[in-house]
């Protein structure tokens, strides 16, 4: 019989499990139910009591590794914790969230245990035998993977299933001891931009894409880059949207053209950029060429604002195309959003 361990860790609050961890728990519960595998859940964090209760009702053995050394992400301590949990559970299968904390340690843990790790798993088959799917070649080819080797580690992409919802009750967890190696890295803090300065927001419901048109000469023969910047940032703030860009726009900084300073190549959506997973998308001043639109693969509800009635969006790539000046449309949208807020 397979022994399935779901590895989880606490979030920034230090007490609750991350959403991606609870998604991995949901995957574990579903697979254990379908296959009859024995289910264990491993929790890593400084304090794990509250986190353990968030898996109440999972019908699993709950194992915890806790203590100050596990308060923050660090390769040496996290790898030791995951290895100890895998050994305690005698795991043949391991599911873990593809968080920055676990994505960097799981391949190393698999190596220590003589197993295999597969990353970016987006779905699991419904049968008794474990089958995992992931995408290759910029989301163009989907593969279904099966492995005979054990232990088999699967890093599950976040946002691919609903998180586990706990039943009421207290969970009796078993503490697993870890012998830590010498810890040479000291985590002294995290330096990160403020939440509202971050333009890439994977959890946002909406993707707003800015195209090169925002920086091009407009009807009056002038470019209006500063105005474009403030219209875009205002919208992002009011709608809590994530910012994507076309390649042409982010490439402009290396071509000495006027640029929107808050855009980097990280914002680029498309064949050579990202493939985000927001529920809705609005493309503005963007032509909707195929290398850009392939990055919209997972965005089902699509709208675009373009001056060109023959742009790619109008040729079946968007549900609604507003053939209009995006400067005017977005100024009105921002005014409506501000009115609504009041």
Ligand X SMILES: Cc1cc2nc3c(=O)[nH]c(=O)nc-3n(C[C@H](O)[C@H](O)[C@H](O)COP(=O)(O)OP(=O)(O)OC[C@H]3O[C@@H](n4cnc5c(N)ncnc54)[C@H](O)[C@@H]3O)c2cc1C
Distance, in Å, from the CA atom of 44 to the CA atom of 178, rounded to the nearest integer, reads 11
Nearer to ligand X, 158 or 330 (CB): 330
Q: Which is nearer to ligand X, 55 or 231 (CB)?
A: 231
Residue of 266, 281, 274, 268 whose CA lies nearest to 313: 281
Task: Kindly state whether residue 267 participates in binding ligand X, applying the rule CB under 6 A.
Answer: no
Does 318 bind ligand X (CB under 6 A)? Our answer is no
d(CA 9, CA 4): 17
From 291, 300, 336, 338, residue interacting with ligand X (rule: CB under 6 A): 291
Contact segment (CB under 6 A) with ligand X among 113-121, 123-131, 173-181, 247-255 equals 247-255
Decide: is 246 part of the binding site for ligand X (CB under 6 A): yes
Comparing CA positions, the residue from 6, 37, 46 lying closest to residue 22 is 6
Cis-peptide into 100, omega within 30 deg: no
Residues 6+ apart with CB under 8 A from 337: 235, 238, 239
Residue 287 lies near ligand X (rule: CB under 6 A)? yes
Q: Is 248 in the site for ligand X (CB under 6 A)?
A: yes
Stretch that binds ligand X, among 13-21, 53-61, 154-162, 306-314 (CB under 6 A): 306-314
Please tell me the distance from the alpha carbon of residue 287 to that of residue 283, in angstroms, as a whole number: 9
Residue 138 has phi, psi (to 5 degrees) of 55, 50
In the complex with ligand X, the residue whose CB is nearer, 19 or 303, is: 303
Contact with ligand X (CB under 6 A) among 152, 268, 281, 333: 268
The nearer residue to ligand X, 53 or 252, going by C-beta atoms, is: 252
Interface with ligand X includes 213 (CB under 6 A)?
yes
Per DSSP, 164 falls in state: P
Contact criterion met (CB below 8 Å) for 164 and 32? no
Give the interface segment with ligand X, choosing from 52-60, 62-70, 129-137, 210-218 (CB under 6 A): 210-218
Question: Quick one: which segment of 84-92, 148-156, 170-178, 211-219 binds ligand X (CB under 6 A)?
Answer: 211-219
| Measured CA distances, 172 to 28, 29, 80, 82 (Å) | 19, 18, 23, 20
For strand 93-97 and strand 3-9, is the pairing parallel, antiparallel, or unpaired?
parallel
**CA–CA separation, 225 and 247 (whole Å):** 17
Using CB under 6 A, pick the residue from 28, 42, 97, 273 that binds ligand X. Answer: 273
157 binds ligand X (CB under 6 A): no
**Binding status of residue 83 toward ligand X by CB under 6 A:** no
Q: Walk across the sheet containing 38-45 and list its strands.
A: 116-121, 152-156, 93-97, 3-9, 38-45, 61-66, 174-175
Q: Sheet containing 141-145: which strands, arranged edge to edge?
A: 123-124, 132-136, 141-145
**Local structure of residue 272 (DSSP, 8 states):** T
**Is residue 307 within the footprint of ligand X (CB under 6 A)?**
yes
Q: Which of 62, 96, 204, 212 is the binder for ligand X (CB under 6 A)?
A: 212
Among residues 211 and 281, whose Cβ is nearest to ligand X?
211
Number of residues that bind ligand X (CB under 6 A): 30
Q: Does 310 bind ligand X (CB under 6 A)?
A: no
Which residues in this chain contact ligand X in the complex, by CB under 6 A?
211-213, 216, 218, 246-249, 268-273, 285-287, 289, 291-292, 295, 305-308, 311, 325-327
């Amino acid at each position: 019989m397979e022994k399935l361990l779901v590895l989880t860790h606490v979030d920034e609050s230090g007490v609750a499990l991350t959403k991606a961890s609870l998604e991995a728990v949901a995957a574990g519960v579903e697979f254990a139910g379908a296959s009859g595998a024995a289910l264990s859940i491993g929790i890593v964090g400084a304090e794990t009591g509250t986190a353990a209760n968030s898996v109440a009702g999972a019908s699993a053995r709950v194992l915890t590794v806790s203590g100050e050394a596990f308060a923050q992400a660090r390769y040496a301590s996290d790898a030791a914790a995951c290895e100890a949990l895998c050994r305690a559970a005698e795991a043949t299968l391991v599911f873990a969230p593809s968080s920055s904390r676990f994505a960097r340690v799981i391949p190393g843990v698999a190596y220590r245990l003589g197993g295999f790790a597969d990353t970016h798993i987006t779905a699991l088959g419904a049968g008794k035998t474990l089958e995992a799917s992931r995408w290759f070649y910029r989301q163009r080819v989907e593969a279904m993977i099966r492995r005979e080797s054990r232990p088999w580690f699967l890093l599950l992409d976040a946002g691919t299933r609903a998180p586990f919802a706990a039943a009421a009750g207290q969970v009796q967890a078993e503490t697993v001891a870890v012998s830590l190696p010498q810890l040479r890295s000291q985590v002294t803090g995290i330096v990160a931009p403020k939440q509202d300065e971050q333009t890439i927001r994977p959890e946002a419901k909406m993707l707003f894409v800015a195209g090169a048109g925002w920086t091009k000469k407009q009807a009056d023969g002038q470019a209006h880059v500063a105005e474009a910047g403030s219209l875009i940032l205002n919208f992002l703030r009011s709608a809590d949207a994530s910012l994507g860009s076309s390649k042409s726009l982010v490439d402009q900084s290396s071509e000495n053209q006027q640029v929107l300073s808050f855009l980097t190549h990280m914002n680029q959506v498309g064949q050579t950029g990202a493939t985000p997973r927001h529920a809705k998308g609005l493309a503005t001043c963007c032509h909707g060429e195929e290398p850009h639109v392939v990055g919209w693969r997972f965005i089902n509800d699509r709208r675009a604002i373009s001056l060109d009635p023959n742009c790619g969006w109008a040729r079946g790539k968007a549900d609604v195309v507003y053939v209009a000046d995006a400067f005017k449309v977005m100024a009105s949208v921002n005014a409506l959003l501000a009115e609504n807020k009041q």
